[in-house]
Structure 1
Amino acid sequence: MFNPLLDDERCEELDGKIQDIISKRIKHRKLDQKNKFEKESHDAVKENLYPADHYHKIYKKSLSNPEEFWGEIAKCVEWSKPWDRVLDNRTQPFTKWFVGGEINACHNAVDRHVKAGKGSKVALIHDSPLTKTVRRVTYAELLDEVSHLAGALAKLGVTKGDRVLIYMPLIPEAIVSMLATARLGAVHSVVFGGFASRELCTRIIHSEPKVIIAASCGLEPHRIIRYKEILNEAIEMSSYKPHKCIIFQRRNVESCSLDVEMDLLWEDALKMAGPHECVPVEANDPLYILYTSGTTDQPKGIQRPVGGHIATLCWTMSTVYGMGPEDVWWAASDLGWVVGHSYICYGPLLAGITSVMYEGKPDRTPDPGQYFRIINEHKVNGLFSVPTAFRVIKREDPEVEFGRKYSLKSLKAIIVAGEHCDYETKAWAERVFNAPVLNQWWQTETGHAMAAHCIGLGHSMNPPKYTAGMAFPGYDIKILRKDGTEAVRNELGRIVVKLPLPPGTMSCLYQAPERFCQVYFQKYPGYYDTMDAGYIDEYGYIYVTARDDDVINVAGHRISTSALEDVVLAHPDVVDATVVGVPEPTKGEVPLCLFVMKKDTQKTEAAVSRDILRMVRQLVGPIAAFRLAVAVTGLPHTRSGKICRKSISDLARNKEIRIPGTVEDPSVYKNIKITLQKLGYACSAPDPQ
C-alpha cells in the first residue's frame, strides 16, 4: 500500500493539469476577494452581493414585529377558526404560534384546490423507471382516494391525536396515507422504506401506532426489498402491537401474503367506508413525528406543529423557490426524510402546483441521463436535490452523453442542501443543466430553510460561491464562540438562532420534553443550538462549513473539513472524498482524507495522493497539517446523500460504532477499517454492526 506521508520534494512532481487547477483556484479566489471588498458604488458588485431592498424590509419586520408579520403570512392558507393570539412565547423554548386557531393540513393541500375548480389539475406525477411506468394523479382523484382512506382509518378506530405509521416506497399511495391521516387530525410517522426490522421495531414501540400502512415491497436497482417481511419481523419483535395493518400490493412488482387477523388489503380498506370530512385541529397540535439521527435506544422523534408548518411551507414555494401556480416542482428525495415531507408532499400541494415523485437513482435506472429525462418529459421548473446526486451523474457521465439529447428549457433553478456542495460539482451542474445552482441550509428540526437564496424576494441568482444564502425571515442567526460571546464578521464559530424560533419548526421531541431542552437549548441559553459551524460575512451571507463536530482542531487552529474536501474534489481523478479528524500525539488532531478514484484513471494512488497534498498546501496552507490522503473503494453515504464522517473518525479512535440503518452500502466500512489499520490505527473494537 502506498505510504501517504508525503515529503515536499515528491509533491513537486505534478503534471500540468493539476497545476492549472491550482492556478485557476487561486485566480478565482483573488477575484472573489476583489469582488467581495469592492466599494458599494460598483453596480455590478452591488447586484451580485446585495439582495433587493424588499428582502431586507421583510426580514427586519419578521424580527421586530413577528406577530404582525406571521399573522399576514398565515393568511395564505385557510383556517377553520381564527387564532386568539399569533405568538405565545411565555414558556421558551416551547413557543406556540397561532394559539387557538384551528386548521386541517389535508383540507389546505387538497380540498380547497378542488373547491376552487382546480380538480382536473395534476397534483402528482409518479415516474418510475424501475417499473417503466408514469402515473398522473389529479387533485380530484387525490381527494377521492384520501377521503376514502380516511374513512377506513376512522372505521378502524383512528381519531384525532392517534398515530399512524407509514412504511412505503416513493409511490402516490404513501402521500395518500399521509394526507388521510392528517385529514382525521391524527399524527403520521413515515419510516423510510427499506429500514431494517430493528429500526422499524424501535419506531413502532416509541410511537405506538394504532394502524400501520405498508406496501408489499420496494425497489432498488437490480433488487426487490420485501417490506412486508421486514414489517412482520418488526411487529414480532415489538412489545407494542398495532390494531391493524393496511397493505398496498404492488402487483406490477411483487405481491405478498397477508395475515388474516392483522392485515387488510388496501382496496378492501377503501371500500369499507365512505369518504370522511376533514377534522380541524388546534394550530399547535402535531401534524407528524419524524425520527432523525440518534441512537436506536433513544429515538429522537421530531414533533411538527400543524398550523405554523403548513402556513410557512405554502409561503416558501413562491418566496424561496419562485414557483408559481402553473409550475412543475421536483424534489428528488424520499418521503422518509424531512425534504420529502416538506417538498414532495405538503409544500407543493399546499401551493396547488404539480409535484414530481421520482422512484429511481441518479444513475443505474437505467443510466445517468434520468435527471435530464425527467426535466424534459415533465417540464420541470424547479429541482431540489443533494450535491451527491450531481457528483454521481458527473462521475458516470462527465461528458453528458446520456443527458444531452434532452431539452432543459423549462428549468429555472436547482436548489441543493443536505451536504456541502463543492465548487467543481456546482460549476459542472450549472454548465450542463444551464440553470443556477443555489445552496441552502436547514435541518429536520426546522422543517424548512434557515438560510436560503430567496428567489421570490429578489435575491441574486449569482451569489458568492459556497454561501448558503441569507437568513430566512424569522431566523435571528448568530455565530458564537466557545465561551458564548458573539463572533465578529467572518469569524468561524457555532451557529445558533436566537429564540423564539419562527412558525413551522419543531415544537418538541415526541414524549421527551426534557431531552428536547437538553439537546437543543441547554448549551446556549436563549438560543437554538444548530450544532453546525460557520460564519457570516460583512454582507449578511451565511456560510455553513460543517457540523461543529467535523471542525478539526489542529494544534489550536479550527479547520473546516468542507474547505479541505472542496479542494480534494477538484482533482479530475477523484469522484468522491471525505476528510475527518484523526488523533495525532503532537497536534492533537490532524485531517485524514479518504478518496475514491475514477474508474478509468491512468494515475496511481501515489500520484493522486501527491496531487491532493500539493493542492491543499497551496490553496489552504500548511496550517492544515494535511499529510494523510489514501484511496478507498467507497465511502459510507446515507440514502439522503450525507457521508457518515463521525463513524469514520470514531473508527480511527478505536471506538465501537453502530452503522446507521440509512447507510446505502455498509460493506464499505470493512475496507475503511483495513485502511486505518495499515495507517497504524488500532481499530481493535468489534467490527461495525
Structure 2
Amino acid sequence: METKTKSFSPYAEAYNRSITDPEGFWGEQAGQIAWYEKPQQVLTTDEKGFYRWFKGGKLNTAYLALDYHVENGRADQTALIYDSPVTDTIRKYTYREFRDLVARFAGALRSLGVGKGDTVVIYMPVIPEAVIAMLACARLGAIHSVVFGGFAPHELSVRVDDAKPKVVISASCGIEFDKHIPYKPLLDKGLSDSKHKPQHAVILQRPYVHADMLPGRDLDYMELLQNAEPVDCVPVDAHDPLYILYTSGTTGKPKGIVRDNGGHAVALKYSMKAVYGVDSGDVFWAASDVGWAVGHSYLVYAPLIHGCATVLFEGKPVRTPDAGTFWRIIQEHEVKVLFTAPTAIRAIKKEDPDGKYKQKYNLPSLKYLFLAGERCDPATYYWAKDLLKVPVIDHWWQTESGWPMVANMVGLERHTSKAGSAGKPVCGYQVEILNEEGQELIANQEGYVAVRLPLPPGCLPTLWQDDERFFKSYLERFPGYYMTGDGGYIDEDGYVYIMGRIDDVINVSGHRLSTGEMEEMVSSHPAVAECAVIGIADELRGQRPIGLVVLKDGQTISEAEIEQDLVSMIREKIGAVAYFRNALIVKRLPKTRSGKILRKIMRNIADGDHYAIPSTIDDPAILTEIHDCLRDRNIGNAFLHKNLNTN
C-alpha cells in the first residue's frame, strides 16, 4: 500500500476526492440541503446509460429557496433587492414577503389548472414578477421555460411548440434605456403562429404601456394574484425537471436544456461558498437577464437557496444613467460579489476609460468580481483589477452545465489568477484536452476541451424530449466524455485556457492558429475598446485572420494607422505565418443579448456564405454595418451578399 506523504492544498484535496469518490463527495453535499425524503442512491445510470444523481430523493426547490429560510430564522432578512434605474425604482423584499407572494401566485397558477409536470413559458423583463413566476412554478412542481423578454415572435412560437405550455406569463412591456418595448404584439404573433395553443396568457400590465387583452385567453396578473389562495410546496422527485432553457442549436432548432431538481439544488448550494466565497446573509449580484443560464442559476436559485440577498437589476451597465451605475449599486446595497460578463466591463471601459465614475463611490463591501459568458481578454482583466482593487476572476461554464466548470474556487483556496485563464477545474469536473482521435494531450497543447463522465450534479441530464439529440450533440464524438464544443489547453500548473469555440481555431497554410490569442494582442492596443478576430476564406492559404475593432471614446487614430500598428504587433508576436493583414474600425460588434460576440456570423458575411440571423442577436442592424465595412474595403466575398437575412 502506498503511503501518502505529500500534503495537498484544500482545493486539491477536495477536487481529488470529487473525482475519485464522486458518490461520497456529492453524498456529503446532498446533506447540506433539506430533503422531504433523502436519496436512496447518490449516482446511478438510467435505462439509456445516462448518469443521474440522487435517485429516490424528494424535495422542492422553491421550499429550499424561501420557506426553509422563513422557518429557520431568516424570515425578516432581505431576499431580493429590485434596482431599476430605468423606472427609478428600488424595492426590497424579505424572505417572508417573497415566500407569501410566490405561494399566492402558485395558487393563481393552480386555479388555471397548472400542476406537477405541466409546463409554463415565462416571457418577461427583469422584474420581480418574473422571479415570482419561476419560483411559483417550482412550488407546484411545474416546469418553467423562460424565454428572453422581447424575443422575436418566431423564436417564441418555436419554443412554445417544443415546450407545449399550459400557460404563458408575460408583461405589457420591457424597457431598453429610455425606450419602451411592447411585448404583447410579439406575444400575440408568436402564439398565433404556434401550433400549440396555451390555455391562458397571464399579462402583467406595467404603467408605461397598456396591453390589449384577448377575451377568454388573456388574464390580468394582478387580478389573478389578488384573488388567489396561497398553496404549499409540492414534493417532487430529484430527477423531475425544474426547468427547460433553450440554447441555440446548429440545426436552427433550439436545444431544450433540462435541469433536474435534485442535482441542481445540491450543486448550486455547494457552489455559492466553494466557488464564490459567499456566506448566508451576504449580498450577491449576478448582473444578468432572467432569460439566461446565469439568471436562472445565480440571480434566482443559488443565492436564495444559500440564504443570500440577490440583486435584480433592470438596466444596462451604461446610459442608465451613466457608466457609474454598477458602482452605485455595489455601494448602495453593500454587494459582496459581482458576477457579470466581460462585455459589460468593456462597455463601462469604453465610456469611462479612466474610471472617473468609479471615483464617486466607495466599495468596501466588494470582495470579488467574477466574469463569465465569454473569454475575458487580458486588457479588460487588468483594467478591472486596477480600477476595483479586488480579485478579478474569469471563470467558465455553459448553459448545459448550469454552474461553473472551471474557476478559481475562492471558498476553498484562492489561487493566483492568470490573465487569459479561466482557472482550474471545479470539483466534480475532470477536464481534459483531447486530440482528434480522443487521446489526452500534454500540457500547453491545444485541442478539444472535454469532461470525463459522469458530469457532476447540476449539469443537463438530457435534452427536453430528445435523448438522441443529446447523445449526438454531446456524447458521441468522444465516448466516455462530454464534448464541450470549445477548444483550449491546460498549462503545466493545471490552469485551463478556453480559447473559444472549436471553429474559432483557424488553419492558415496548414498552421492551426487561435483567433483568441490574436484578440488578446489586438485588445492590448491602447486605442482599442474591444475587438474580434475572425478567420476568412483565402484561396491560397485556406484561411487568414482579419480584425474588427471598436475604438475607445475620444480616439482619433485613423484606420490605416491602427491597421499598421496591429499588423506589426501580430507579425512580431506570432510571425508572418499568421498572415494578419487587415484591421477594420467598426462602430460596434454583433452580439447576443448575453454579450457573446457573433464571430461565426461575421465570418459567414466575409465569406459570402448563407447564414440565419440568430434569435439571440442584440441588434440585427449591426450585421449590415459589418457587411458594408467589409465590402467597402473589398475584403473577402462580402460583395456576394445582396440580402443580409438569408434565413
The question of 1:656 aligning with 2:631 is answered: no
Deviation at 1:383, TM superposition (A): 0.4
Identify the residue that residue 69 of structure 2 maps to in structure 1: 113
Identify the residue that residue 387 of structure 1 maps to in structure 2: 342
User: Of the candidates 265, 283, 307, which is equivalent to residue 262 of structure 2?
Assistant: 307
Identify the residue that residue 367 of structure 2 maps to in structure 1: 412
Q: Deviations over 1:394-438 (max 9, x none)?
A: 110112222211111110000001111111111111111221110
The question of 1:98 aligning with 2:98 is answered: no
Identify the residue that residue 433 of structure 1 maps to in structure 2: 388
- Once the two structures are superposed, the pairs formed by residues 222-241 of structure 1 within 5 Å of their partners are 222-241=178-197
Provide the C-alpha distance between the structure 2 equivalents of 1:599 and 1:63, rounded to a whole number of angstroms: 48
8 Å CA contact retained: 1:84, 1:99: yes
8 Å CA contact retained: 2:336, 2:367: yes
Deviates more, 1:618-627 or 1:418-427: 618-627
Provide the C-alpha distance between the structure 1 equivalents of 2:496 and 2:335, rounded to a whole number of angstroms: 28
The code of the aligned residue for 1:635 comes to L
- CA pair 295-518 structure 1, distance change in 2 beyond 3 A: closer
Deviates more, 1:143-152 or 1:269-278: 269-278
Report SS of the residue matched to 1:273: coil
Provide the C-alpha distance between the structure 2 equivalents of 1:188 and 1:450, rounded to a whole number of angstroms: 24
Report SS of the residue matched to 2:91: strand
Provide the C-alpha distance between the structure 1 equivalents of 2:549 and 2:321, rounded to a whole number of angstroms: 26
- CA pair 51-136 structure 1, distance change in 2 beyond 3 A: farther
Provide the C-alpha distance between the structure 2 equivalents of 1:399 and 1:473, rounded to a whole number of angstroms: 38
The code of the aligned residue for 2:229 comes to G
Provide the C-alpha distance between the structure 1 equivalents of 2:312 and 2:560, rounded to a whole number of angstroms: 43
Report SS of the residue matched to 1:509: coil
In structure 1, stretches of 5+ residues that fail to align are: 1-49
- CA pair 275-63 structure 1, distance change in 2 beyond 3 A: same
Identify the residue that residue 87 of structure 2 maps to in structure 1: 131
Identify the residue that residue 542 of structure 1 maps to in structure 2: 496
Q: Deviations over 1:282-328 (max 9, x none)?
A: 11110000000126852211011110011110111111000011211
- CA pair 297-608 structure 1, distance change in 2 beyond 3 A: closer
Q: Deviations over 1:89-125 (max 9, x none)?
A: 3656521110011111000000000001211111110
Provide the C-alpha distance between the structure 2 equivalents of 1:89 and 1:163, rounded to a whole number of angstroms: 26
- Once the two structures are superposed, the pairs formed by residues 291-306 of structure 1 within 5 Å of their partners are 291-294=246-249, 297-306=252-261
Identify the residue that residue 345 of structure 1 maps to in structure 2: 300
Report SS of the residue matched to 1:76: coil
Provide the C-alpha distance between the structure 2 equivalents of 1:93 and 1:428, rounded to a whole number of angstroms: 47
8 Å CA contact retained: 1:128, 1:360: yes
Identify the residue that residue 181 of structure 1 maps to in structure 2: 137
Deviation at 1:246, TM superposition (A): 1.2
Report SS of the residue matched to 2:357: coil
- Once the two structures are superposed, the pairs formed by residues 214-253 of structure 1 within 5 Å of their partners are 214-251=170-207, 253=208
TM-score (norm 2): 0.96
Identify the residue that residue 3 of structure 2 maps to in structure 1: none
Provide the C-alpha distance between the structure 2 equivalents of 1:296 and 1:225, rounded to a whole number of angstroms: 29
The question of 1:321 aligning with 2:305 is answered: no
Deviation at 1:686, TM superposition (A): 4.7
Report SS of the residue matched to 1:607: helix
Report SS of the residue matched to 2:411: helix
The question of 1:142 aligning with 2:102 is answered: no
Report SS of the residue matched to 1:403: helix
8 Å CA contact retained: 1:89, 1:500: no
Q: Deviations over 1:142-182 (max 9, x none)?
A: 11110011111111111111001001110111110000000
- Aligned residue pairs, count: 638
8 Å CA contact retained: 2:353, 2:552: no
The question of 1:64 aligning with 2:12 is answered: no
Deviates more, 1:363-372 or 1:269-278: 269-278
The question of 1:521 aligning with 2:472 is answered: no
8 Å CA contact retained: 1:467, 1:541: yes
8 Å CA contact retained: 2:37, 2:57: yes
Identify the residue that residue 160 of structure 2 maps to in structure 1: 204
Identify the residue that residue 598 of structure 1 maps to in structure 2: 552
8 Å CA contact retained: 2:431, 2:452: yes
Q: Deviations over 1:21-45 (max 9, x none)?
A: xxxxxxxxxxxxxxxxxxxxxxxxx
Deviation at 1:459, TM superposition (A): 2.4
User: Of the candidates 221, 224, 232, which is equivalent to residue 277 of structure 1?
Assistant: 232
8 Å CA contact retained: 1:81, 1:102: yes
Identify the residue that residue 488 of structure 1 maps to in structure 2: 442
- CA pair 209-275 structure 1, distance change in 2 beyond 3 A: same
8 Å CA contact retained: 2:545, 2:580: yes
- CA pair 197-90 structure 1, distance change in 2 beyond 3 A: closer
The code of the aligned residue for 1:255 comes to H
Deviation at 1:645, TM superposition (A): 0.3
User: Of the candidates 263, 284, 287, which is equivalent to residue 218 of structure 2?
Assistant: 263
Provide the C-alpha distance between the structure 2 equivalents of 1:540 and 1:214, rounded to a whole number of angstroms: 46
- CA pair 390-539 structure 1, distance change in 2 beyond 3 A: same
User: Of the candidates 590, 594, 599, which is equivalent to residue 640 of structure 1?
Assistant: 594
- CA pair 297-555 structure 1, distance change in 2 beyond 3 A: closer
Provide the C-alpha distance between the structure 1 equivalents of 2:324 and 2:358, rounded to a whole number of angstroms: 4
The question of 1:562 aligning with 2:516 is answered: yes
Report SS of the residue matched to 2:358: coil
TM-score (norm 1): 0.91
Identify the residue that residue 171 of structure 1 maps to in structure 2: 127
Report SS of the residue matched to 1:506: coil
Report SS of the residue matched to 2:593: coil
Provide the C-alpha distance between the structure 2 equivalents of 1:484 and 1:601, rounded to a whole number of angstroms: 47
Report SS of the residue matched to 2:268: helix
User: Of the candidates 52, 55, 58, which is equivalent to residue 11 of structure 2?
Assistant: 55
Report SS of the residue matched to 1:643: coil
The question of 1:79 aligning with 2:31 is answered: no
Identify the residue that residue 460 of structure 2 maps to in structure 1: 506
Provide the C-alpha distance between the structure 1 equivalents of 2:167 and 2:599, rounded to a whole number of angstroms: 36
Deviation at 1:55, TM superposition (A): 1.0
Identify the residue that residue 444 of structure 1 maps to in structure 2: 399
8 Å CA contact retained: 1:564, 1:579: yes
Identify the residue that residue 26 of structure 1 maps to in structure 2: none
Report SS of the residue matched to 2:117: coil
Identical pairs, percent = 46
Report SS of the residue matched to 1:606: helix
8 Å CA contact retained: 1:199, 1:296: no
